[in-house]
Amino acid sequence: MNAKRKNAPGTTTTRNVLFSILVAIALVIVGVGGIFLLVTKLLEPVSTVVDSFLENVHDGDYESAFDLLSPGLKIRVEDADRLALLVEEYSAQPASWRFYDQSAKNGYGRYLGNVTLANGESVPITIMLELNADHLWHITHFEWGILNSNDW
């Protein structure tokens, strides 16, 4: 005797609806997480250049910082020794930094945020970048405090 077990009325339907809702929520979470990871990965090379530049200036490695500048900006700054002199002259030694707006699109990048200088002053920071023919990011403009690469 094969007796079929009967579910209470509406039980199967309720389970199916709950299961569908849980699957939909999981898909939304995975989708949002996937988009976040994709954007993070796309911005990673840009952020590496920005962080490396600021870390190099922070550490006093002006040769490495200078190497991250675009050819046009290198001409204006002249050399790593002048970069060091400008940072010192403008009391612009970065101690820490945080960016609240980061974008990279069509070969151009922009980072906006705040930098805390070695003297404790917090000032806005802007760093602009460009992707060169070799697909490497270079800094085309930087400014924080009164240090502004457009001034030279």
Q: In this predicted model, what pLDDT tens digit does every residue of 30-56 receive, in sequence order?
A: 766 555 444 444 445 888 999 999 999
pTM above 0.85, yes or no: no
- Looking at the chain, the whole-number percentage of residues with pLDDT higher than 90 is 55
DSSP readout, 109-151?
EEEEEEEEETTS-EEEEEEEEEE-TTS-EEEEEEEETTEEGGG
pLDDT band at 97 (very low <50, low <70, confident <90, very high): very high
Phi, psi angle pair for 70, to nearest 5°: -70, 160
Least trusted range by pLDDT, from 121-125, 138-142, 143-147 = 143-147
